[in-house]
Amino acid sequence: MDLATFIGFIASAATIILSIYLGGSGSDFLNPPSALIVFMGTLTITLMKFPLKKFITGFAIAGKAFFHQELSNSELIDEIMSIAKVYRKQGVLALQNHSTSNPFLERGIQLMVDGFETPKIRALLERDISNTLEEQNIGRNLFRSIGAVAPAMGMVGTLIGLVQMLANLSDSSALGPAMAVALLTTLYGALIAHAFALPIADKLGYRMKEESAQRDLIIDGLTAIHAGANMMEIEETLYSHLRESPEKGKSK
């Protein structure tokens, strides 16, 4: 679970809701025509931009913004160093029973056990990184599109409301509902974009960079192990991926 995403999302929603109720009635901000224009319009137009499968996949990938469980870099280095110790003492086949919570690390270990040469292991794992990043980029692009479309649909709703208002200037009872549509669609569009879609897109972009960096660390560690590097060389290779020196976080 990503606490920053949850806390930020809940706190921002609470701030908006509280400000609405402190200033008047919450029902004043509920308008079905405005919601229909913005919410349904945003979804359908975004759907036009993506194939259906990628559209669905993009929403599934968005879960990474809220639920993300990875080993820290220090924990990952400790685990790779333990793999190196097993490899040096018992050989590659002893790694068959080594369990890890990181699927990419597990994939690399399996390639070693299967007897692939070091350059081939690196090539296959780098291809896996490329494929994963391409898939995750679908989610980021989807939410960027939502962030771009929602305010535009808010503007469309505003124009619809203004047209309705101008067409009924002689009927004072129709001016209020038309003005509500005009203003609330703009509000809904801004909230969807800036309090939901764009923050998620940014968080997914951060996750992509974070995951790519960790996978590079795993590749360098496993290929160093498989190439027969000594323990000091492996440790220096791993810690070169961190800003801190090996002495500050040396594995035990």
- State the pLDDT confidence band at 5, using cuts at 50, 70 and 90: confident
Is 66 in the same domain as 38? Answer: yes
Is 9 in the same domain as 75? Answer: no
Does residue 143 have a pLDDT over 50? yes
Tens-digit pLDDT profile for residues 150-161: 999 999 989 988
Is 21 in the same domain as 128? Answer: no
Is 249 in the same domain as 196? Answer: yes
Is 125 in the same domain as 232? Answer: yes
Check residues 57 and 175 and name the one with the higher pLDDT.
57
Four-residue CA torsion sign, 179, 181, 186, 187? positive
Instruction: Give the residue numbers spanning the domain of 156.
Output: 32-252
Tens-digit pLDDT profile for residues 202-228: 999 988 898 899 999 999 999 999 999
40-49, 61-70, 86-95, 157-166: least confidently modelled range: 61-70
Is 20 in the same domain as 47? Answer: no
Q: How many domains, in total, are found in the chain? A: 2
Is 74 in the same domain as 22? Answer: no
Is 36 in the same domain as 26? Answer: no
Tens-digit pLDDT profile for residues 68-89: 666 788 889 999 999 999 999 9
Is 90 in the same domain as 169? Answer: yes
Share of the chain above pLDDT 90, in %: 55
Amino acid at 234: I
For residues 135 and 57, is the Cβ–Cβ distance under 8 A? yes
Is 77 in the same domain as 153? Answer: yes
Is 150 in the same domain as 216? Answer: yes
Tens-digit pLDDT profile for residues 103-139: 999 999 999 999 999 999 999 999 999 998 988 899 9
